[in-house]
Structure formats: structure tokens, C-alpha cells
Structure 1
Amino acid sequence: MTLELSARDQSMLRGARGPATAAAMRILVAFSKAVGASKLLDIAGAHIDGCLYHGQASLDFVERLVEGSGRVLVPTTLNVGSFDLIHPGLVKMPPSQEAPARRLMKAHLELGCRATFTCAPYQTRFRPGFGEQIAWGESNAIVFANSVIGARTNRYGDFIDLCCAMTGRAPAWGLHLSENRRGRVLFELIDSDAEPSDSLFVAVGLIIGQTSGDRIPVISGLPRPRDEDQLKALGAAAATTGAVALFHAVDITPEANTLEEAFHGMAPEEIIGITRADLDNALARLSSVPDGAPLAAVSLGTPHFSHDEWMRLLPLLRKVAPGRGIPIYVNTGRATLTRLQDEGALAGMEAFGLISVADTCTYVTSIIERLDGVVMTNSGKWAHYAPGNIGVSVAFGDMADCVRSAAAGHVVRGTR
């Protein structure tokens, strides 16, 4: 298929906006041809997933763009980095790794990206609107933008997302196009919770991620969520255990007011029932230790805690006595943290073991003091990745379970 370039595209390709933009356009053109796009489209924003330092190549790429006087052409947010710039004392990292990790984050800012450093840009002032074309990296952000907001992005990996931001363009393919957004496989919840618990949404996400493959899942029978954070947890779990970039929840998400709308009037390719036993089994696989296991730490906020989640957590902490020295790490965006500090909401919370983490996450950066014990989390994504990333044993539970466990010093879980 021939790729059609506009006069503006060709101008950027020839270097009218400088060598960095020309290089970005060359990469974007090659990528667009590889995926079979026939043209490029304008994007309203981008989210860059390349701030985590994985080696010199990632830094070299961004540095070359900086040296070529590169600037992003659309509002561009940044995903988490490898370092907490707000609380540098928390990070245990040798200088040989810290220097390039910090430099990579700073280099993105020199390109004109916004210093968000959050995996939840959809809960910032840079949230896109329904139907807007965007180019986002970070799996949970992609699935939330597509599913909960109804914005349009594919799963853009490192470097391609930045090339889109540098040019303000993206290939017209995949989930950017309406015909590719219809549901393919139907998941029907059978005997689900009457009350929409957080664990229910995590479990549904785990199951559709493991089962959907490259098909867009549609969920029927899902209880109406308490808030969008439960849909955030569902999408993060689905993107973690599979390749889900878009899900439809009937009568909940914006492109699925009805089952017929979700499937664009066509029949599902497969119908899969989800029972209470399926949900329990999915959650059980997240934990490697039984109830009663001694606890080393709690980690919350993967994806990053929203203000609403903080407002649910802080009263829970105040209801229990200061803990047994069990730290409760909460990963959150710096904008949310600033708002909480301005409100005075975190005053005195250190007595309860609360440790705020910004700009990064505890499963990708060496922050947690004790890695020889059990860490409890309410995040399906954290529970999935942390054992392999940082070598800890994990217990999964709802937020209230995590707080009670920190107070008790061992894993405590209520009935779900």
C-alpha cells in the first residue's frame, strides 16, 4: 500500500523544521509503511513511555533529537522515569545508573515535553476528549484512553510515540479507525458481586487479558463502577496479562451503550462466561503467600493513585493505630501530590507508615527497603510484575485489606 504524505509531511521530511524533526518523520514514515497505513493523521497530544532508563541506546536516541534542536509539536506528557526527582533520598541506585536515568528524564523536558512523569496522564489536566486522535505509550494509559474516554490511539512503543509527538502526526491504522474498534469476543459475567468491589474489576481485567488475544473484548453484566478508578484497575490488569488496548463494557463505556453498538451490529466471534470461581481463581494466582504471612511492606498506586483514591485511603489509615513499622508506599503523580500537600491532606500521615513516591513506581525502581519479605498490594499490575522485576513475594488484597495488614504486621484478607 502506498503511503500518502501531505505537503506539510513532505516539508518536515525535507528538514524545514530542522534535522531532529526530519529524523522523526523518516522513522514515522518507515513505521507507517510497515503497518500498512495509507496516510498520516493529525494528533491532539502524545504520552511518552521512554523515560525509564533501560540502557544507553534510549538515552542516545533522545539526546540526538535534543542536539538537532528538536521540539514536540503537540502537548506531550511523560510516563514514569527510573528516579523519584521529588524524593531522591528514597531511591537506592548507584551513581553510574542514577546519572543517565536523571539525564533521560531531563532530556525529554528539553524537547518540550511536560514534566508529568505519571502513568495516569488521563487523570491530569492533559486528559484527551472523546474521539480525539492521540499517540500514547504505556499500556494502562492506552487502554484507559481508548476504552473509558473514547479517545483513539494504538499501542505505541518507545521512540515511535516520541516521533509522533515531534511531528504531530500518526499513521491512520488500527484503533485510530472506527472500523477497527468493534468488539470481537463477548465476556458474560455470571453471578458477579452485587457490589462492585475493587477486586472484581481487577479479576475481570486479568481474565479478559489472558483470554482475548488480539481481539477486542466486550463485557456484559459488569456492575456499574463506583468511579473510574475501578475501570482503571480493570484496564491495567487486562493490558498487563494480555495485549488489550481497548475494551467495551456494555452500558458503561462510551462506545458500548448497547451490546449491538459494541459489536457494530455484528455477532461476537466467541462468547465466554465468567463465573465467581473464575474470578476467585484469577485473584488467587496473584498471591504467592497465604493469609497470616508476615508482611514487609505495602505498595499501592499502580497505576498512579488518583486524588479520589487518596481520599479513600487516608480515612482508612486514620481508623487504625499507627502500624508496626510496616511502610505503606503510595505511587502517585507529582500533580496529585502537590494538590494533596496544598490541601494539607498528608499532614501527620508519616506516623501511619505512609511514604509517598512520585515520578516512578516501586516495581521498576529500587525504593522498597525490605525485598526479603512479603509485599501486599491492591494492584493487579503490581502483583503481576513485581516478583520478576524486584524479586518479592506478593499478597494481593483490596485497599482496606492492605491497610489492615499493615496495622497487623501480617497478611489479613476479608471475604470478597
Structure 2
Amino acid sequence: MSLELTAEEQATAEGRDGKGAAMAMRIVIEAARLLGAARLIPIASAHIDGALYHGDSGTLFAEALVEGGATVAVRSTLNVGALDLVGCSRVRLEEPMRSMARRMMEAYRKLGCEQSWTCAPYQAGHRPAFGTDVAWGESNAVAFCNSVLGARTNRYGDFLDIACAISGRAPDYGLHRPENRRARFAFDVSALPVAFLGADHAWPILGSLYGREVGEAIGVVVGVPRNPGEDALKAFGAAAASSGAVGLFHIAGVTPEAPELAAALGGEPAEATVKVTERMVADARRRLSTAGDAKAIDAVAIGSPHLSLAEFSELERLLRGRRVAVPIHACTGRHVVAALDSDGRRRTLESLGVVVVADTCVVVTPILPPRDGGVLMTNSGKFAHYAPGNTGYAVIYGSLADCVESAIAGRPVMGALAA
């Protein structure tokens, strides 16, 4: 299939709008050709994952776009960077990497991107309308955007995301196409206890199981008795995108493209049905923990995806003024930090031993104390998946209540999951 370009797209690629815009358009065009797209489509917004420092080449690429006069053509928010520019926490990134990371973050500012620095832009006001085409990076954000908001994006990686943002175009393929958004199989949780489905720790477990079962296929979850809320849905999508390659999921009666099962399946029968049992859930829960029978913990980390203001309120409720023996690293966006600062809540949390981390998270940049054989406790399915490889810490998975009680005791306390 040959790619057809408009006169405007061709002119931009040939340099009419400057070297930076031409480079971005050529990247999008070549990606479209490789993917077999017949055309490019306009996008309404972008969320950029490529501003996280992984090496000097990423910084130099962004600076080349700036030097070429490029700016984003659509609203573009930024995923986490490698530094906490708000100054809530200390990042142990050494020179010259620290300077290169700062230069990278500054380059994206000059390109016109919003300084959001959060993996949950949808909870910071970036919520594209249902049915609109966008180009989002970051796996949990992609899953939430497609599934919960009903906007349309593929999993745009570094540095195709910023190229789409500058050109205002994306390849017309994959999840931009309505026919590719239909669920092919069902993930039936109706046999699970209603109390479990209403618990916060359930959704990372179910997401982890779902991702392993489906890979990158499109499925629909059935048997959910009520809408679990945005924080549960973001936790499900983040875990599913980490254990699999999920870019879109449906939940019958909850997500916008699945008012009922038949709509999610496009009127066709499911090609397969996974009937989830309590034994499958127990196995998925065990897989999220790698620390074995640890008798002590060295750190607690929550907020992947970034904590919402509601989740901070629950953290405060669970702490009830008690001071922790092991620090709780609470990762969030600067939009939440501003709200916490407005009424002194951050200062109160920090006095109890909570380390607020803004603009970044403990799994993508060195913030946690170096520990050989250290044990990290988390309520995040995404942290549980990536932390052992990225931080060297073994992981214990638990509910938010488990994390708080364990941080206070300095050892694993697993009350909620044992119930």
C-alpha cells in the first residue's frame, strides 16, 4: 500500500516550515510507510514520553529540533523526566547525566510542550474528547486515553511522539481505525467475590493477569458489578500495559465503547473467553512479589501511575498522624503538589515520613537509597513489574493499607490481602 501525502505535508517535509518541522514530518512519513499506512491523519493532541533521559542521543535529538525552529502544532503534555524540578525529593543522578537530563527537559519546554511532567496527564486536565485522534506515549496513559476516554491513539514511542506533535500528524493505522478497536475475546471476572472487585488492591492484580492473557489483543472485561472509579481503572491499565502490551481494553457497562458486551464485541461472538478464577487471581498476586519471605522492608513506593489528590487523601486517612519507620515515597505530578501545598498538607505528610516525589518517579531515576538485596513494598502493579530490574530492589506487592502499616512497622504487614 502506497502512502499518499497532501500538498501541505509534502511541502513541510521538503523544508517549507524550517529544518525542525521538516525532520519531524519526515520521521512521521517514514514511520507511516513502515507501518503500511495509506495516509496521515491530523491529531488533536500529544503526550510525550521521549523527554525522559536515557542517554545523550535523546537530548541532542531534542536540541536539534529546537535549533531547527520546530514547535509543537498541538497541545502536548510531558511525561515524567529524570529530575524533580519542583524540588520535593533528591535525585541522585550524577554529572554529566544530570546536566544532560536538565538540557533535555529544557529543550522540550522550548519546543512548546506543557511542563506537566506526569504519567497521568488525564488527571491533570489533558482529556481529549471521545473519538478524537491523538498521539500519546507512555503505556498507562495510552491505555487510559483509549479505554477510559475513548480517544484514539497507538502506543507512540520515543521519539515518534514529538515528531507527531510537531507535524500535527500521525500514521492512519492500528487503533486509529475503528475496525481495529473491536474486542475479540472476553475476560470474565463474574466468579470473583464482589468485595474483592471493590478493593483497591484488586485492580493491579487483575490488570497484571489480563496483560499476560491478552498480550496486545483487544479484550472486554465482563462481570464488573459497578464502575470502580478512575484510580482503579488507571491501575488496571498500567498493570495490563506492563505485563502485556495492552493499548486498549473495554469493560462492559463501564468504558465508553462498551455500554454492553455486544457493543464491545461489535456484534460478533467472542473468539475466546477467559473465565477468571480465584486461583488465577492468587497466582497473579504471587507473581507481583519477588522478595520471598522477607522479614523487613527498606522502602515503600506508591504512585505509578502518579497519585491523584484522592489517593493522597486516602494515604492521609490511613496514616492518621502516625509516623512511619520506613519512608513512603509518593510519586505524583506537580498539579497535585500545588494542591497539597495550598493548604499545608504536603508539609504535614513530610513530617510523618512521606517523601513526595514530583515530575519523575523512583523507578526511572535514582531516588531510592542504594541497597544490595533491598526490599521495596508497593501497591502498584507497574512498580512491581519494573522495580526489580530498574532499581535492584526485590518487591512485595500489597494494598495501600498494607503499604502504610508495613511502613509504620518496618516489616511486611499483609492484612488486606490476607482477608
Residue matched to 1:323: 324
Over aligned residues, Cα RMSD in angstroms? 1.4
Distance in 1, matches of 2:378 and 2:259, equals 33
Residue matched to 1:144: 144
Distance in 1, matches of 2:86 and 2:199, equals 33
Residue matched to 1:287: 289
Residue matched to 1:85: 85
Deviation at 1:290, TM superposition (A): 5.0
Distance in 1, matches of 2:348 and 2:24, equals 48
**Per-residue deviation, residues 338-369 of structure 1 (Å, max 9, x unmatched):** 11111322232223211100111101111112
**Per-residue deviation, residues 191-213 of structure 1 (Å, max 9, x unmatched):** 21313112221111111111112
Distance in 2, matches of 1:73 and 1:207, equals 38
Distance in 2, matches of 1:166 and 1:75, equals 10
Distance in 1, matches of 2:207 and 2:97, equals 34
Distance in 2, matches of 1:92 and 1:302, equals 20
CA contact (8 A) 1:292 1:412 kept: no
Distance in 2, matches of 1:88 and 1:18, equals 39
**Per-residue deviation, residues 150-197 of structure 1 (Å, max 9, x unmatched):** 010001110111110001111111101111100011111142131311
Count how many residue pairs are aligned between Structure 1 and Structure 2: 414
Distance in 1, matches of 2:62 and 2:161, equals 12
The answer to which of 79-88 and 279-288 deviates more is 79-88
CA contact (8 A) 1:83 1:101 kept: yes
The answer to which of 223-232 and 97-106 deviates more is 223-232
Residue matched to 2:246: 244
Deviation at 1:400, TM superposition (A): 0.6
- SS of the aligned residue for 1:299 comes to strand
- SS of the aligned residue for 2:96 comes to helix
1:272 to 267, 271, 274: 274
- SS of the aligned residue for 1:61 comes to helix
Percent identity of equivalent pairs: 47
- SS of the aligned residue for 1:16 comes to coil
Distance in 1, matches of 2:266 and 2:89, equals 52
Residue matched to 1:262: 264
Matches within 5 A, 1:398-413: 398-413=399-414
Gaps of 5+ in 2: none
- Which residue identity does 1:353 align to in structure 2? G
**Per-residue deviation, residues 209-228 of structure 1 (Å, max 9, x unmatched):** 11112310111012424421
**Per-residue deviation, residues 351-393 of structure 1 (Å, max 9, x unmatched):** 3211100111101111112534211100000011000111001
Distance in 1, matches of 2:324 and 2:215, equals 43
**Per-residue deviation, residues 101-160 of structure 1 (Å, max 9, x unmatched):** 111111111100110111111111222121111100000000000001101000111011
2:231 to 216, 229, 232: 229
- SS of the aligned residue for 2:217 comes to coil
Residue matched to 2:206: 204
Distance in 1, matches of 2:257 and 2:88, equals 42
Deviation at 1:413, TM superposition (A): 0.7
Residue matched to 2:3: 3
Distance in 1, matches of 2:29 and 2:407, equals 52
2:303 to 301, 315, 330: 301
The 3 A distance-change label for structure 1 pair 292 and 89 is closer
Deviation at 1:89, TM superposition (A): 5.7
Q: Normalising by structure 2, what TM-score?
A: 0.96
- SS of the aligned residue for 1:198 comes to coil
Deviation at 1:14, TM superposition (A): 2.4
- Which residue identity does 2:342 align to in structure 1? D
Distance in 1, matches of 2:370 and 2:191, equals 40
Residue matched to 1:375: 376
Residue matched to 2:332: 332
Residue matched to 1:102: 102
Distance in 2, matches of 1:60 and 1:102, equals 12
- Which residue identity does 1:287 align to in structure 2? S
- Which residue identity does 1:244 align to in structure 2? V
- SS of the aligned residue for 2:156 comes to coil
The 3 A distance-change label for structure 1 pair 225 and 193 is farther
The answer to which of 27-36 and 4-13 deviates more is 4-13
**Per-residue deviation, residues 215-246 of structure 1 (Å, max 9, x unmatched):** 10111012424421000000000000011100
Deviation at 1:13, TM superposition (A): 1.6
Distance in 1, matches of 2:327 and 2:89, equals 15
Residue matched to 1:343: 343
The answer to which of 160-169 and 225-234 deviates more is 225-234
Distance in 1, matches of 2:88 and 2:339, equals 20
CA contact (8 A) 1:248 1:255 kept: yes
Distance in 2, matches of 1:213 and 1:47, equals 23
* 1:153 aligned onto 2:153: yes
CA contact (8 A) 2:142 2:155 kept: yes
The answer to which of 141-150 and 209-218 deviates more is 209-218
CA contact (8 A) 1:291 1:411 kept: no
